[in-house]
Amino acid sequence: MGDLPHSYEEIGELTETAVIILGTTFQALNHWARERLLIILTTEDYSFRLGDLVWVKEWNFQPLKPLWRGPFPIILSTPTAVKVAKIMPWIHHRRLKPVATNWECISDSTKPLRPTLRKKTLTGLEDRRKSAPLRSYQKLTNPRAAEASGW
């Protein structure tokens, strides 16, 4: 075993060398761990850009209240967080949802109280499988009415 240090200068030199050795060991371990990560933490994991409109998920869930607030435009972004207008704190990208702009609401003149939500297609052709009429209370409570309409 080595001799014990006799002065404060020797203790300082030993502490300095120990810190240097710990730093190099930490860097080597950090490099080893980063090589084995499945997700690279320095790249963007989301597709949001400045100016995009997004919905922000609420923290506290309350029944009969909307779970998403917005839409808000993105004003700043980092690899893991986004800053949106009208909200002070930064928001993690997992709490955001892009605003869908390709939906349209079509109302039939014969059935004005039954609007249909339809996704806009690029070709302009109507696809009945993609259109989904809003469900009425009667169809949800009356099984015969649901069977007659094809639900």
55-77 pLDDT tens trace: 999 998 899 999 999 899 999 88
Q: How far apart are CA 113 and CA 107, in angstroms?
A: 8
Other Cβ atoms closer than 10 A to 55: 19
What are the tens digits of pLDDT across the range 28-61?
998 888 888 766 555 555 778 888 899 999 998 8
Q: Average pLDDT over the chain, rounded to whole?
A: 75
Cα–Cα distance, 119 to 104 (Å, whole number): 6
In contact, 131 and 117? CB cutoff 8 Å = yes
**CA gap 57, 41 in Å, rounded:** 23
